Amino acid sequence: MNLRTIVLLSFGAFLTGTRPAHADTPPPVGYKEKCKVELKEQEGTTCEECQNGPGDGGDPERCEKQFAGTEFAYACQTYGASFWTEVWCKGPPREDEGCSCALPGAGATGNAALAGLVVIAFGRRRRRMSIAR
């Protein structure tokens, strides 16, 4: 096998064998938590908190299962990837404020793909330079 094949196969194995990172990072400076029971409750609405996250070896769908078959609906999720709190409410729906359910604080997996492309491009450039000599 040549070096290029080894690099490509290694990178492919890395991408298929890795899972998204669930490491928490601190919130950005000045971050104000918008997912709190007191912020989501309104007249005629009852909200409850549910601690969640795979960080304690638990089920990331714990809250969904807990509130299944009830009138409670998912409202939001606090900052964090390993541990977070979900707020579930029952009552009249709130005006749409956007979803905070994108797992804020989770590491990005797109950086690994970018690094792989850089390695491939560098390998091609290096090979072209050695052929030109």
Residue 74 lies in a domain: yes
What confidence category does residue 26 fall into, taking pLDDT thresholds of 50, 70 and 90?
A: confident
- Mean pLDDT is lowest, of 4-18, 29-43, 64-78, 81-95, for 4-18
Number of domains in the chain: 1
Q: Tokens representing 54?
A: 């795979």
Determine the structural domain holding residue 84 and report its residue range: 8-15+33-132
pTM: 0.54
Q: What is the mean pLDDT of residues 100-109?
A: 46
For a pLDDT cut of 90, what percent of the chain falls above it?
A: 32
Residue 101 maps to a domain = yes
In this structure, is residue 28 part of a structural domain?
no
Instruction: Give residue 104's identity as a one-letter amino acid code.
Output: P
Classify residue 37: in a domain, yes or no: yes
Quote the CA–CA distance of 38 and 86 in Å, as a whole number. Answer: 13
pLDDT at 69 over 60: yes
Domain-located, residue 3: no
Domain annotation covers residue 47:
yes
Q: What is the mean pLDDT of the chain?
A: 75
